[in-house]
Structure 1
Amino acid sequence: MATPKNVEEVEEKEDWLVTYADAITLLMAFMVMLLTFTKYDIPAFEEASAAIKSNLSGRDSTSPIQLLRIDVKDVVYNMQADQVVKVVTDDNGIVIELSSSAFFKPGSSDLRDEAMPVLEKMSQTLLAPRYQFYSIEIEGHTDDDPINTPRYPSNWELSASRATGIIRFLISQEMDSTRMKATGYADTQPKAPNRDANGAAIPENQEANRRVSIRVYPMSQAERKAYEEILAVREQKEFEKQAATEKKEALPPLEQSQGVPAK
């Protein structure tokens, strides 16, 4: 008959089996999850991966999407812009929503001076190496009040110009243009009804509908591969350019002419 001491020793030796079994169960669940993905959904994959890491390590693990949201919200908070910038997550990544009245001059795609510092801080965040393989899609939206000027014949031109205006600013901050695209939606995607049942304008809703949305999400496998190829070509061209410059600098100076024959 086993003594209490022997029983304790057996239990201690078998403790690792419980941890091992838990790990195997989690890994099996992970494999089943991969097999059930009919489409390679990177945000969902990252969220699930973070959850599994958290279970295995016993510590909280923040997913890249969550980290991105936290980083951008920190910028908004520190710049005291939370009244005019909203940051939310969707199925693909995060959405940074800018109030058009706060970032653009009325009826124009010209950025307000006071909007520049906020956009600069945001661009610095998005330029971080950990977000290098994230795409940036910028959408311009207007209310239903029509515009008709030489510069903006309709709300389509205004919304598209505001979206491309943000892109131009990000490019000026050294954001890679191949990561971005812009779309103007005019008044076709309102957040709330522009008018009531009687056709009267609802000013607060129109204000909410005048916005620019910056969608930031991880590149798909195909997008990342294409982007890496672009980066490789650029790197090769830069290498060749640098090599040509160094070769030119290494050449000896041309010998001075010894004189010009008299005519």
Structure 2
Amino acid sequence: MQNRRARRKFDDEPENHERWLISYSDFITLLFAFFVVMYAISAVNLGKYRVFSDALGDAFGGKGAAPPVNTEVPNLPIPNPALKRRNEMLRHEKTQMTKLAQDLLSTLAPLVKEGKVRVTQNSRGVSVEINASVLFDPGEATLTPASADALRAVGTLLKEDSHSVQVEGHTDNQPIANNRFPSNWELSSVRASAVVRLFIDAGVTPGRLTAVGLSDNVPVAANNTAEGRARNRRVAVTILSAIPDPSTELPNQPVAPAGP
């Protein structure tokens, strides 16, 4: 009778339904430990890795640590087809302008040697600076016969080219006032126009040409000496580059004569 009561007491004891939480907490703990180990492996300390590798190498008779593998992605420049094409066009344009400058230098060689003509090149283009005494009589805007021949040769060379051409007339600061030219503005403008008309007669397309009169506003020398004023009286013929590059603008660089 007593055994029957004990068995009934044991059978009536309530069942524990939360026993699964113990296994679940063990699983979560193991999973956390797994991720900690994975993180520790991924964040390798190069100093500790080298010491550990050297120790293994010495223990097994090796040559020490092997160099760690570089897993960093190199910072390579991304190709830019548009930029590459522009650079190629700039190089081609510079080569073309340099050849044009050499041809102009050869055409005007006698005047260059006399110091009356300067050929320069920069990123804006090629400029031919001609002293006004070569082209005009004092206070006049009619080209002299000798200068017309030289400019006609330049016009023939430009006729075969396709670049735009800007012709600038410059004077010194000495005032002028007569029936034809009330001021240096008119004188410089008419002189530039005379050169443009000669280029058109030589076959240069009129749409490529521009005449600009700048009076005495862009001097290249001081006007307080006769030599400086003579230098400022000039006509500048600029062949404009088709691809100007203001970011690399440099002062005018004289063009060296081509080799034999």
Shorter-chain TM-score category? Answer: 0.5 to 0.7
The code of the aligned residue for 2:231 comes to A
Counterpart selection for 2:196 from 167, 178, 190:
167
SS of the residue aligned with 1:134? coil
Q: Does 2:83 correspond to 1:35?
A: yes
1:134–1:45: structure 2 CA closer, same or farther, 3 Å change rule? farther
> Alignment partner for residue 241 of structure 2, among 218, 221, 238?
218
Name whichever structure is richer in helix by fraction. Answer: 1
Secondary structure at 1:111 match in 2: coil
Deviations 1:129-162 (A, max 9, x none): xx1x200000000000000011000000000000
Which residue does the alignment assign to 1:119? 151
Q: Deviations over 1:65-98 (max 9, x none)?
A: 1100011011011xx1112211100222100011
* Pair member with larger Rg: 2
The answer to whether the Cα contact below 8 Å between 1:46 and 1:64 also exists between their aligned partners in 2 is no
- From the superposition, tell whether residues 219 and 205 of structure 1 become closer, same or farther in structure 2 (CA, over 3 Å): same
Q: Quote the residue 2:54 is aligned against.
A: none
2:35 maps to none
User: Per the alignment, do residues 179 and 117 of structure 1 end up closer, same or farther by CA in structure 2, a change over 3 Å counting?
Assistant: same
Contact preservation (8 Å) 2:196, 2:209: yes
2:91 to 38, 45, 48: 48
Q: 1:174 to 1:90 in 2, by over 3 A?
A: same
| Distance in 2 of aligned mates of 1:149 and 1:45 | 53
Between the two structures, name the one with larger relative contact order (CA 8 Å, sep ≥ 6).
2
**What TM-score, normalized to structure 1?**
0.58
Q: Structure 2 CA distance, aligned partners of 1:36 and 1:164? A: 40
* Percent of paired sites with the same residue: 28
Change (3 A) 1:159 1:94: same
Correspondent of 1:192 among 205, 209, 221: 221
Cα contact 1:155–1:187 (8 A) shared by 2: yes
Q: 1:175 to 1:145 in 2, by over 3 A?
A: same
State whether residues 189 and 214 of structure 2, in contact with CA within 8 Å, keep that contact through their aligned partners in structure 1. Answer: yes
Q: C-alpha separation between the residues in 1 aligned to 2:92 and 2:186?
A: 42
In structure 2, the gaps of 5 or more residues are 1-75, 245-260
Q: Of 91, 111, 115, which residue of structure 2 is paired with 1:81? A: 111
State the AA in 2 paired with 1:35: L
CA contact (8 A) 2:164 2:208 kept: yes
Q: Distance in 2 between matches of 1:106 and 1:68?
A: 31
Aligned to 1:255: none
Task: After TM superposition, give the deviation of residue 120 of structure 1 in Å.
Answer: 1.3
Query: Counterpart of 2:141 in 1: which secondary structure?
Result: coil
Runs of 4+ residues deviating >6 angstroms: none
